[in-house]
Structure 1
Amino acid sequence: MNIIAKLHKAIYNCVTEDIITDDVILTNERLQHIKQRHPDDYMLYLEYIKTTVEEPDYIIEANKPNSAVALKDILIDDNIHLKAVVRLATSTDNPEYKNSVITFQTIREKEWKRLLKNKAILYKKK
């Protein structure tokens, strides 16, 4: 288990106000998931996961309760759209639990636009 970021509760309160910690972890199992399922995105993970979680451009509704989909647009050579799914630790969870990254990946422009059009936008960076 590695603490990879500090969650800004004021930003993520749009998902739930019942967040019990600001630590965000990535378990070894989830890291292996990213390496196996999104191998091309692993190097981006090393460089941009912290920024994506701490300073998202958008947070949109997730399919599971107490979860957030953080979206970040990074300018490198071209725009790269990043998506991190974060499970938020609440008072109904084991008190030892931390906020946890479930997955991290790049998404194409078409998917970026579809998500912003079809999902509820809970937070938008000013």
Structure 2
Amino acid sequence: MKIIGRINIEIYKCATNKKIITDDVVLTENRIHHIIERRGLEFYNKYKPEFKNIIENPDYIFKDIKADTVLASKSVDSDGKNVNIVLRLAVEGDDPCYKNSIITAIKENEKRFLQRLRNGVILYKRVDCEE
């Protein structure tokens, strides 16, 4: 388990009605294998260095279907690709040792991202971000 960054609790608190208990974000070996298995080693090697920036400075935070879970989204490619990090927040009532955890990472093209903007529930939007 590696701490890869820290969230700004102030911007992520919109995702839950519970208190977020830590700002640490971890990526476990199990989740690394999951990402590589689902997205490929090339994806992981290309975007892993961006994970910290995505969670610490997201362009958008979208509501996920699971409780206390969000999609932190950021445009990271010059070719119009967005990367979403599915992040499970560690909240009051969880084991106090739990950390905010990356569940998976997903790359989206512009068409799919625009669909997410239309149909998804936006919890946070960076001030200087254009739709």
* Shorter-chain TM band: over 0.9
Higher strand share: 1
- The CA deviation at 1:45 is 2.7
Distance (Å, rounded) in 2 between the aligned partners of 1:22 and 1:37: 27
1:36-60 CA distance string (max 9 Å, x none): 1001420233221111111000001
Number of equivalenced pairs: 125
- The CA deviation at 1:18 is 1.1
State percent identity of aligned pairs: 41
- The CA deviation at 1:118 is 0.5
1:4-50 CA distance string (max 9 Å, x none): 01011011011025100000000100000111100142023322111
Does 2:5 match 1:5? yes
- The CA deviation at 1:105 is 2.1
| The 10-residue stretch of structure 1 (49-58 or 32-41) with the greater mean CA deviation from structure 2 | 32-41
Q: Give 1:49's match in structure 2, choosing from 48, 51, 63.
A: 51
TM-score by length of 1: 0.94
CA contact (8 A) 1:20 1:89 kept: yes
CA contact (8 A) 2:60 2:125 kept: yes
Residue matched to 1:111: 112
CA contact (8 A) 1:41 1:105 kept: no
1:62-101 CA distance string (max 9 Å, x none): 010000111101243x122111000000011000000000
Structure 1 stretches of 4+ with a deviation exceeding 3 A read none
Distance (Å, rounded) in 1 between the aligned partners of 2:19 and 2:43: 31
TM-score by length of 2: 0.91
Residue matched to 1:121: 122
| Gaps in structure 2 of 5+ consecutive residues | none
CA contact (8 A) 2:80 2:109 kept: no
Q: What one-letter code is carried by the residue in structure 2 that aligns with 1:55?
A: N
